[in-house]
Structure 1
Amino acid sequence: MSAPIDTLVTVFGGSGFLGRHVIRELAKREYRIRVGVRRPELAGHLQPLGRVGQIHAVQANLRYPASVQAAARGASIIVNLVGILAEGGAQTFDAVQAKGADTVARAAAEIGARVVHVSAIGADANSASGYARAKAAGEAAVLAASPSATIFRPSVVFGPEDQFTNRFAGLARISPMLPLIGGGLTRMQPVYVGDVATAVANAVVGKTRPGATYELGGPEVMTMREIIELIVKITQRNSMLMSLPFPLAKIQSYFLQFAPGDLKLTPDQVELLRSDNVVSDAAKSAGLTLEGLGITPDSLAAVAPSYLWRYRKTGQFAHKDT
Structure 2
Amino acid sequence: MSARGTQGTAAVVGGRGFIGGACVEALREAGWDVVVVTHNARLAARHDGYRWGDMLDPTTLGPAVEGADVVVQSANFPDYPFEKPRRRHSFLEYDGLGTERLVRAARAAGVRRYVYIAGVGVTENPVKPYFQAIRRGELAVADSGMEHVTVRPAFVYGPRDNGINRIIRACRYLPVLPLPGNGAQNHQPVYVDDVGRLVARAAEPGAPEGTFEIGGPERMTMSAMLTTALELVGRKRPVVNVPDGVARPGARLLAGLPGSLLTPNALDFMLEDFVADLEPLQKHYETRLTPFLDGLRDYLHR
TM over 0.5: yes
Structure 1 residues 259 and 252, CA gap change in structure 2 (3 angstroms): farther
- Among 209, 218, 225, the alignment partner of 1:220 is 218
Q: 2:239 aligns with which of 234, 238, 241?
A: 241
Do 1:158 and 1:300's aligned partners in 2 also have CA atoms closer than 8 Å?
no
Equivalent position to 2:290, from 298, 302, 315: 298
Question: Could you tell me how far apart the structure 2 residues matched to 1:213 and 1:90 are?
Answer: 27
CA distance in 1, matches of 2:18, 2:191: 12
Residue in structure 2 matched with residue 100 of structure 1 by the alignment: 98
Give the gaps of 5 or more residues in structure 2: none
Shift of 1:260: 4.9
- Deviations along 1:24-76, one digit per CA (max 9) or x if unpaired, are 1111222222221111544699x7xxxxxxx6101110111121011111111
Cα deviation, residue 250, structure 1: 1.5
Match of 2:270 among 273, 289, 301: 273
1-structure distance, mates of 2:236, 2:273 = 27
Partner of 1:156: 155
What is the aligned-residue RMSD (CA, Å)? 2.4
**Structure 1 counterpart of 2:16:** 15
Code of the residue aligned with 1:160 in structure 2: it is P
Quickly say closer, same or farther: Cα 1:22–1:77, change in 2 above 3 A.
Answer: same
Contact 1:13–1:35 (CA under 8 A) maintained in structure 2:
yes
TM-score by length of structure 2 reads 0.88
Cα deviation 1:67-125 (Å, max 9, x = unaligned): 10111111111111112322231222211111111111112222332111100112247
Matched position secondary structure for 1:209: coil
Matched-pair contact (CA < 8 Å) for 1:60–1:71 = yes
Q: Is 1:259–1:265's contact at 8 Å kept on the other side of the alignment?
A: no
Q: Report if the CA contact (8 A) 1:4-1:29 is conserved.
A: no
Q: Say if 2:67 is the partner of 1:74.
A: yes
Q: Which moved more, 1:95-104 or 1:239-248?
A: 239-248
* Aligned equivalents of 1:21, 1:194: Cα separation in 2: 6
In structure 2, distance between residues paired with 1:104 and 1:272? 25
What is the number of equivalent residue pairs in this alignment?
292
2:89 to 64, 86, 91: 91
Structure 1 pair 73/293, CA: closer, same or farther in 2 (3 Å)?
Answer: same
Shift in CA distance, 63/146, structure 1 to aligned 2, threshold 3 Å: farther
> Which portions of structure 1, spanning 4 or more consecutive aligned residues, are displaced by more than 6 angstroms?
none
| Bigger mean CA offset, 128-137 vs 89-98 | 128-137
Q: How much identity, in percent, do the aligned residues show?
A: 27
